[in-house]
Structure 1
Amino acid sequence: MKPEVDADLRREWNELAELVRHHRDLYYNNQPEIPDADFDEFFRRLQKLEQRHPELAVPESPTMEVGAPTAVSSTFDNVVHLERMMSLDNVFDDEELSEWLARTPAETYLTELKIDGLSLALVYRNGQLERAATRGDGRTGEDVTANARVIEDIPHQLTATDDYPIPSLLEVRGEVFIAVEDFAEVNQLRQEAGGKPFANPRNAAAGSLRQKNPEDVRPRRLRMITHGVGAREGFSPDSQFAAYQALAAWGLPVSPYTEQVHSAREVREKVAYWADHRHDALHEMDGLVVKVDSYAQQRALGSTSRAPRWAIAYKYPPEEVTTILIDIQVGVGRTGRVTPFAIMEPVFVAGSTVAMATLHNQTEVIRKGVLIGDTVVIRKAGEIIPEVLGPVVERRTGSERQFIFPTLCPSCGTRLAPQKEGDADWRCPNSRSCPAQLSSRLTYLAGRGGFDIEALGEKGAQDLIYSGILSDESGLFDLTEEDLLASKVYTAKSGGVNASGHKLLANLDSAKSTELWRVIVALSIRHVGPTAARSLATRYRSLPALIDAPIEDIADTDGVGLIIAESFKSWFEIEWHRQIIERWAAAGVSMEDTSEDLAVPVLEGLTIVVTGSLEGFTRDGAKEAIITRGGKSSGSVSKKTDYVVVGENAGTKETKARDLGLRILDEAGFIRLLEHGPAVDEEETLT
């Protein structure tokens, strides 16, 4: 059996894992908050921690997972891939590449550009396009077939040839992107239509493919390049390159940059070549993928839980450029955090023009040693927020000046201070009435993870606060058409409320009956995100019941813990916080989970561990099935575990369960347990 994990070590792992999950979800389903390189660093730190302490490397770790689950608020149906889509492991320097090549020798490799786009799987039956789906978590993705049909690169019908007859089933994997040369025009059209410009081609492609109306997809100029084959019937190529030749013959787009090479030396030459020619490709690229060409050798090498062992992505360093730092200003977020940011001479980097970059906090400004007026090095590798790395000291003229961090909030004038001793971040403590915090909280609660109020964006939120229409978020659901007459965003030039204003009022009315977990998220309670909110809403079914619950009881909720429980309870100790709930409830916002199809709590009091891959459940789906029936879904096996559900590649948890003599179920037994509770027959328990 594995040794017990030290509490501090477990806490470090939990924090890193949560960071990776959070930022991975933003990358695939929303807007990233950190650079790609920062995410890679978090991920690598988690991998190294698990390598040093193998007992932490559980199947539920982000290092074992592919992509991210589809967003709960997605308007597209979920579909299960015919064959699981994988991710790629990365290397970042020649030493790591050499180690991979040494343990993965091959007569022939393929080198392919790593396209910075959105993964897509196409299913053809008898040559006819049947379905297109995003990668999602590798098993389940979003059905975007209607939108894929308007992408010119994707044929609706494959073309047969004498050498390449059409297979009865073909699942093709590829990447959707916007060509670099088309990006500026796509952004221009978006701005002319009143939208905000995309930060980079990758975000533009991801947002475009998820348009509700396929006709809105057409002008986005989406392209596609295929780079793999999944499930197939009537098609048995002996190599990856041979598969690409067949795909091209059938009319599918393949990369013109893919090459066969026959030694480790040639692989390194291609890595070096593309490092110097990154902008020669028609699409954004952030690395070079190296694959073993032979399918037989690929099968022999196999894969880990998330990535094939026969392929690797060599990630190039983030791009860096220099520009002039014109000024340093500060912004105030919804939690009161005051963040300095650089105002720079606009510069083109990683496919887009940037004029602002983060400086994180005042400690970082000092550490980096940057002065206003400096020539600075900034880094941006396709991510949303560029970063100032530091000054080019030799270019100083003597006219530069030091940045002085403000002592007062630039929005409300309140004296700034760290929340607790030792904090690098300084915050505005005036959460009650600081306009910047209020407008940021309004924007947040209206987002996809909260009430999902489409007509309430950043400009609308600022307008409602700065115009005095709202004094805080408590009055949001009391808004009337008369109130909006004082708005600039929601009124027409000719007078009266405009279409956006009417839409806002309609959105607010619809949002009153939203799910309870969204209401909890919308409160902006520190540490309480969608995962914890879902668990709490599922367990307590109403906000009053949750508020009245003892802190120890809340902490015992699966996926919550003491820190979140304490944060939740302390939030309700503040009177004006309670007034928000009271006013929302008085305005008709539902404070209860009113689902009619409530599952019978047949698992109440039971702790269940699910390990390995199940055919009929995603990891989150199995967890939700347990929680909604009153059970506790645990990530670790112990003597207190009642059942262990074992799927494919279960690993050490199954071994530990057997050593402890616990009851073990296969998937069929799990389904019967969900239906009937613990009164399962002995024959349903595996031996």
Structure 2
Amino acid sequence: MDLFGEDGIEGRILELEGLIKRYQDSYYNGEAEITDAEFDALWDELKSLNPSNPVFSRVGADNGSFAKVHHRMPMGSQEKAAEDGQFLKWASAHKYDEYLVEYKLDGASLELQYDSGVLVRAVTRGDGTIGDDITQNARKMGGVLPELFGRDGERIAFTGAVRGEVIMRHSVHDSLYADKANCRNAANGLMKRKDGSGSENLNLIVYDALATDGEGNPADNPFSDEVGKIEWLASCGFDVVHLEVLPDADSVIAYRARVSEMRSSLEFDIDGLVVKERRIDFEDARRTRPDRQIAFKFGLEEAVTVLRDVEWSESGSTYTPVGIFDGVQLNGTTVQRASLANPDTMRRLGVKIGSRVVVVKRGEIIPKIEGVVGSSDGCREIVFPSVCSSCGAPLVDAGTRLFCPNQGCPKRVLHRLQKWISVVDIRDFGDTLIRSLFRDGVVKSVSDIYSLSVEKLTPYFLDENSVGKKDSLGARKVFDSIQAHRKMSLPAFVAGFDIEGVGETVVGKLVDAGFPTLDSLLSASPDDFSAVHGFAEIMANAVVEGLSENRAEMESLVSSGTIEISGSLGAPLPLSGKSFCFTGELRSMKRAEAEALVKAAGGSCKSSVTKDLSYLVTNDKESGSSKNAKAAKYGVSVIDEDEFMSLVKPSC
């Protein structure tokens, strides 16, 4: 049954035509109103209702700020596949001896026109036939060559066109244009500024070329196939797109999965792969939508949706804003919640209830709201909580966090107890037990944990079927586990006190920087910590304040002999100052056991690969995983399980 009815279908087709034209124009002018996923949904719907609609042969239109120039080579768009099944259907109709696969760059298309090896014009994609002449802006971009020279230093007498993608690197976006939703939008806007400002922050990566006779007619190319084309462009000095040659369609699917996993480690955005044959098909290339190549896109990493509410997640003393929005598909999962980080981030974004927001989920990162699309006029302001839900104390808005300042706040004390048990790794001490002990006033501080006896614990392990019993195996097990965790490293000891933003890695850096004992940490000033690499004034103050708040109990635990801090008085522990990240399965132990070995030896563990990581541990060093790729990018040592055990064995 037709959901629209005959008249309804015609009306919907007209509506879709108008929407697609509008969003195409905004996209090509650097002011994209919707995401690729939203645009693709409109496109697919129109294609299902009216496959021959003229809008499919339309590309886009640039603004009127620049002179209009005809392209020398076709600049149409591509067929696309977003799922394995769609790609295999295309591949079954396009059986090649081998498949050439290139990164699909997520930027803005640009054609460079050369006469006898000299750049004469740079033209945007426009409507696929005519674009804007932005030559003066393009000359400022990295990767745009004013003249073409071969490796022998001789000028190449090439007349024709070179096509590439204008991209913005992530580092540039993060440092200069973080207010833009993504790198592509920022690049689109900058390249079309009338004064050219900002174009120097863009780069061109090329992937196509076509020789002409100077009047737009085809001429003999200096290459014979698609592989030779990329090699020739590289020999001219261009930055070229990455190319792989694969034997069959299944290999393409496997390669796409590997690239999808590691693409977060690239310096620029890609949103899929371009799959084609080795032979250059000029007739197909002249089509508005070439048939013999396809864009095999990745699962979506970002989407635009409407913010409906903000909940405040309470963890210890900190209140963290979490956005609630209309569900969107990101990397194959439906997402309806994402972090808003802190009050300062919310104010910087200008987010309100009803705002259209950009939600991202890249690699292993938890979803977060990264930007606002369009105006938030008419939307409702977000109300911040003003008092602590547990103790009623006025909350403090410090910008980087919203928190309860009351050290005696029950919620804050309970969270510290939970944090201690987690960091020290008293595994048999479950969350239900600590909550019950705290509720009954039996445990109100870290020191109280070590005063627990089997007799005190036993009532919490008895039920109606064990009335009258005086012993409990569970109580004995918890008691023994507590006693086995009286010795620990200084980073673990301090991290267990739940100081905001101060984990084992942070304390480890201070230990390595010349604060190897508890006394030296407690005696330090904010200026002392600020002098340590990676510690700014805010962090230094937070550490000093946190240590001061917990000083009495810290000193009491150590002076009484309740806790022994290993390595703080004599030689440092074997892995002191070293950090480890694990990926994949281990053969001889569980990951938690390996992490416990690291901590016992004075090292620290991370869940992701960062620039200051010491070792990535994996039994598959050749994996194309995102962690392996980041380790290679940052120069982090990659070791296997045997090598790891050789490091920790002396400390075991």
TM-score, scaled relative to structure 2: 0.46
Q: Which has the larger radius of gyration?
A: 2
Give the TM-score normalised by structure 1. 0.44
